[in-house]
Structure 1
Amino acid sequence: MTDDRGYLLDNRNAEAGTRFEAISELCDPWTFRHLDELGAGPGMRCWEVGAGGPTVPAWLGARAGEHGRVLATDIDVSWTLPAAGGAVEVQRHDIVQDEPPAETFDLVHARLVLVHLADRDRALRTMVEALRPGGVLLIEDADPALQPLACPDEHGPDERLANRIRNGFRALLAERGADLAYGRTLPRLLRGAGLGDVRADAFFPLTSPACGVLEAATIRQLRDRLIAAGHATPEEIERYLDAIASGRLDITTSPLISAWGRKP
């Protein structure tokens, strides 16, 4: 997903591919388990909203098979296109500005999308309306305010620097309209949208090599913005990147809240 007016982590940046790969390594097993338990399988019609990278649409396409359909949409589909083919169709689509697809779906899924949107309520309504009766909506979104630290074990100067820079990143997100406490609201919002059997859980990797890869790619992408806003000096950015590369930091991500419900 990319939007110069609001989305901070522009997909057109060279670091986007690295970020998508790291997110996939971290989150795909968690996401696929949920999709599997929610019945993703042969013949299903699925809408993957704000797809970003190709891994989730490709997995859904393999599950849907020749008699199913997966529509993968994003404002910028350049990273999604490798998933196209077979059951998977890739289309450019703005979930807030554009008309919804002229069809209904058994399953609609969005990961790390709504938290960044200014009109996230409208986007959520659009996804609920796109469900057929009995269809399932799975929303997975971050909650940076629930656990705001890059290094929860803040035992040294590098960890303190990591947490200060993460705080700067959160400030940049908030300035662009991101809701840093959005993830925790998902169960209530899904019930309010008329869905039943609403449930939720959370994924929180305390440390992983992929967490470091994701953090470094994010910092490189936002380096100039962090410096311009006074959140870090050029020397501090380089020191932080060196510390990540050394593997001595236990870098974590914001908790990913997964919430799902079924349309009556």
Structure 2
Amino acid sequence: MMKYVAISLMVFFSAACSSNKNPNSPEQGKEDTNAKELLQGIWLDDETESPLMRVEGDTIYYADAQSAPIAFKIVRDTLYTYGNDTTYYKIDKQGEHIFWFHAITDNIIKLHKSEDPNDSLSFVRQELVIPIYNEVIQRDSVVTYNGTRYRAYVYINPSKMRVIKTTYSEDGISMDNVYYDNVMHICVYEGKKSLFASDITKQMFDQVVPGDFLMQAILSDMKFVKVDRNGFHYQAVLAIPESSIYSITDMEVSFEGNLTITSTK
């Protein structure tokens, strides 16, 4: 059995927030280009005077540098955003300098347009991500089986492969956060003879973990466990960034160099 923490709850919450049937779906109405034009610019929260979002063309940029830009449309009185999830917000009031809308939590978000050019500094985009590792990590395990000495290596390599995780602010605004995935490399040697060497990516686990989970997870860790008559045993950890949600999966490399991936029992 795979070890999950609250995966079902996360998937249910995401679906509830983004998959509701809306009678004003984009397929049932024409995009309001005038409303889109009014939304161009930088918008500040009425209560805090802090920049919340900048709108350029068809894209919303959030002041949170961790959040990815997100596409949007306005149809009738509804704002649709298209990121990892499709989310809609009912617009309560819109004008040249005012924009009020209902968040997922049913809070009314009240914004006004900025007139200070310095507010654009809040939207300077940086490659701000939270990698599991900042450098290559090497783990070398020396083991003996039936009188033969083996070395089982694990290399954890940060990559530039992006993982998008949908989060919701306290006010109920959907945001897509960006993280980097890792590529693991495992290899087994008998003396100088290589028995196995391969890169491991999270896509290789698509038969043993749910697709919704895998899409937002990072291959966060890999450990050598033991060697026995069946071969060399590893455990891979796939985790949702900045959460306690994870899955542990077994990997086995046979003495003939064959790799098998199975759910943890």
TM above 0.5, yes or no, is no
Q: Which has the larger radius of gyration?
A: 2
State the TM-score, normalized to the length of structure 1. Answer: 0.25
- Name whichever structure is richer in helix by fraction: 1
Q: Structure 2 length normalisation: TM-score? A: 0.25
Q: Per chain length, whose mean CA-contact separation is higher, i.e. which structure has more relative contact order (CA < 8 Å, sep 6+)?
A: 1
Higher strand share: 2
